[in-house]
Structure 1
Amino acid sequence: MRRPARILTIAAAALLALAPVLAEARPGGRASSGSRGARTYQAPPPTNTAPNQARPFERTQTEAARPAAPQAAPGALRPQGAQGGFFGRNPFLAGLLGGGLLGLMLGGGFLSGGFAGLLGVMLQLALIAGLVLLLMAVLRRRAQPAPAGMARTMEGGAPRLGGSAGAAAAPVSIAQADYAAFEALLRDVNAAWSARDLSALSRLATPEMVGYFRDDYAALDARGWRNETRDVRLEQGDLAETWREGAREYATVAMRFSLVDVTRETATGRVTEGDPERRDVATELWTFVRVPGGPWQLSAIQQTG
């Protein structure tokens, strides 16, 4: 084996060995996982806490919406009897313009018909100029940007959304108790994750998210590793958006938090990633779902930037 090929093979093997550590540690696997209902494929609005756009979901059970039926391509065959365009509806003008141009190409010239020919030339030139001006006006209208939606404002701690996103569903009123619940879920999910308590995670998260937690545990176990997070502190958070879908209410919250995040070898306790004496800082978008009057549950975790 040539030296460059050997180096590439060793590097690929090293990346495969390290990939589970980088991809599976911390709740959610440091990936965008879960579902945001009908807005799964729509990025949450930016906030002060998370100004960068969220990463699309790498793991989700929500199917993408089917594309609309394609429209007929330009130049497609038309039904018999259909008239196409301005000249199709005005054959006399088309013949007049084509005749003048044809006369020029054959050497007769525009003025071969005397005074009548001169009038024909003037009419044709006026028609050409009018068509050019009409085309320019159409192009200018198409080039103008569409008017933007209303600016997003905050009222009473809940966003009022403008444009198509806000028109899809009325926002959900979020009270101080809800913010306290979001912060508690951040801590409780991490505690249950570190304790490998699937029963607690089933109360705190949707079945879809619990399934991803199981997958991440299995991937860590296959390498003989265990991830633990502790001393989770919410440093900053704000509401990105809320909405209703049928009997469910959704809220997406941007959260910047610090924690101790360490992955160890299960058998020896040797640290494979992280530092038990150092705090890491992460910014994620967590989406919560509930039925009115019920407790919030974690529905999705999205990475930013």
Structure 2
Amino acid sequence: MKFTQRTRGIVQALAVVLSLAVPVMFAISAADARPGGGGSSGSRGSRTYSAPPPTATAPNAAQPMNRTMTQPGSPGVAGPAAAGAAAKGGMFNKPGMGMLGGLAAGFLGAGLLGMLFGGGLFSGLGGMASIIGLILQIGLIFIVVKLAMSWWQRRHSPATASAYAGPAPGAAVGPGGPQNSLRTGTGFGLGSGSAPLEIQPADYETFERLLGDVQTAWSNEDVDKLHTLATPEMVMYFTKDLEENKAKNDINKVSDVKLLQGDLAEAWREGETDYASVAMRFSLVDKTLERGTNRLVAGSEQPVEATEVWTFVRRRGESWELSAIQQT
């Protein structure tokens, strides 16, 4: 009898854990299929683990990296140990699971401890209503923790260098008052001019061009072209995602990419390497087709909007390359 009760408790525990994990899995599969997969990937040198400052285009804190080869505390150089750590994962340590997966793991662990001490996996729950109440409590905890983390990141972020920032000390003031933003003609604001690394209008034109070129190369599954547009790390992620699409017999097509608004979050130099993190709001047609038949699997012909922070890297004397994409 006790064995039957414990077995029933295990089944109930697995049901609840799956009810928490499965929606996350479906959310990932139904997420935007554009380059980056709607996640945060890549490296930002020594600032990989610090969020870019919020801007007028992206006022919310950027999400931390789901995939990166940069080790915490390193000067931005990815090593084999980082790749091994990223590949290990575990049952509740998969990219995309995040805090919800951790809560599910903790919940299951607590249930197993209860079973070991004779209380059963669901001692005290008292039926389905209590299970639903527990799930709601976990959801509330998740929301509160997320809000607290966002507040903490905003409080400790450096001053914003955005398109609508005030003039830098000593900046010229026109007859109409302080000049709050300079427009480049490409949709980008030049920021306050206080960034340690000065970004020129030609750089913004390059960033906008890379936004479109990366999407085009992705749609054409042109890995060779991606190697000329992004860092080896980003190309590795793109290649992995493209291979997964092929395994599912899908192909993602992105078209009509238009930059709507953009501004500089931060720009800095590390040795001979320049970095620029730029917030971009853009529209695009994002659809996934069945390979060979062109049957629509996901997305639509209607344009959708996305806001992301793209980080570009440039070694002295070389061209800008995409080194990271972060969601906001």
Superposition deviation, residue 231 in structure 1: 0.7
Q: Is the 8 A contact 1:158 1:173 kept in 2?
A: no
The runs of 5 or more residues in structure 1 that have no matched partner are 67-145
**Which residue is equivalent to 1:72?**
none
1:241 aligns with 2:249: no
Q: 1:36 is matched with which residue: 13, 36, 44?
A: 44
| Amino acid aligned to 2:238 | F
**Which residue is equivalent to 1:139?**
none
Q: Is the 8 A contact 1:20 1:220 kept in 2?
A: no
**Which residue is equivalent to 1:60?**
68
Could you list the structure 1 runs, at least 4 aligned residues long, displaced by more than 6 angstroms after superposition.
1-14, 148-151
**Which residue is equivalent to 2:148?**
none
Superposition deviation, residue 268 in structure 1: 2.9
**Which residue is equivalent to 1:184?**
209
Superposition deviation, residue 65 in structure 1: 1.7
1:281 aligns with 2:305: yes
Q: Is the 8 A contact 2:53 2:158 kept in 1?
A: no
1:265 aligns with 2:273: no
- 1:149–1:55 distance in 2 versus 1, CA, 3 Å: closer
* Partner deviation per Cα, 1:243-267 (whole Å, 9 max, x = no partner): 0000000001000000000012214
Superposition deviation, residue 301 in structure 1: 0.3
- 1:244–1:154 distance in 2 versus 1, CA, 3 Å: farther
**Which residue is equivalent to 2:325?**
301
**Which residue is equivalent to 1:140?**
none
Superposition deviation, residue 299 in structure 1: 0.5
The percent of aligned pairs where both chains have the same amino acid is 50
Could you say which structure has the larger radius of gyration?
Answer: 1
1 CA distance for matches of 2:160 and 2:223?
42
| Amino acid aligned to 2:306 | A
* Partner deviation per Cα, 1:70-92 (whole Å, 9 max, x = no partner): xxxxxxxxxxxxxxxxxxxxxxx
- 1:257–1:12 distance in 2 versus 1, CA, 3 Å: same
1 CA distance for matches of 2:271 and 2:27?
40
* Partner deviation per Cα, 1:99-121 (whole Å, 9 max, x = no partner): xxxxxxxxxxxxxxxxxxxxxxx
What TM-score comes out, normalization by structure 1 length?
Answer: 0.63
1 CA distance for matches of 2:42 and 2:193?
25
The runs of 5 or more residues in structure 2 that have no matched partner are 1-6, 75-154, 169-181, 183-189
- 1:259–1:247 distance in 2 versus 1, CA, 3 Å: same
**Which residue is equivalent to 1:219?**
244
| Amino acid aligned to 1:202 | H
2 CA distance for matches of 1:194 and 1:149?
36
Superposition deviation, residue 220 in structure 1: 1.5
**Which residue is equivalent to 1:71?**
none
| Amino acid aligned to 1:222 | A
Superposition deviation, residue 149 in structure 1: 7.5
- 1:251–1:9 distance in 2 versus 1, CA, 3 Å: closer
1 CA distance for matches of 2:160 and 2:25?
47
Q: Is the 8 A contact 2:54 2:160 kept in 1?
A: no
* Partner deviation per Cα, 1:205-225 (whole Å, 9 max, x = no partner): 000000000111122222221
Q: Is the 8 A contact 2:265 2:279 kept in 1?
A: yes
What TM-score comes out, normalization by structure 2 length?
Answer: 0.58
2 CA distance for matches of 1:238 and 1:4?
50
Superposition deviation, residue 271 in structure 1: 1.6
Q: 2:255 is matched with which residue: 230, 236, 257?
A: 230
Secondary structure of the residue that 1:219 maps to in structure 2?
A: helix
1:208 aligns with 2:208: no
1 CA distance for matches of 2:273 and 2:201?
20
* Partner deviation per Cα, 1:100-144 (whole Å, 9 max, x = no partner): xxxxxxxxxxxxxxxxxxxxxxxxxxxxxxxxxxxxxxxxxxxxx
Q: Is the 8 A contact 2:287 2:299 kept in 1?
A: yes
Superposition deviation, residue 294 in structure 1: 1.8
Superposition deviation, residue 21 in structure 1: 3.2
- 1:65–1:150 distance in 2 versus 1, CA, 3 Å: closer
Instruction: Answer 1 or 2: higher relative contact order, Cα 8 Å, separation at least 6.
Output: 1
How many residues matched?
A: 216
**Which residue is equivalent to 2:57?**
49
- Alignment root-mean-square deviation, CA: 3.3
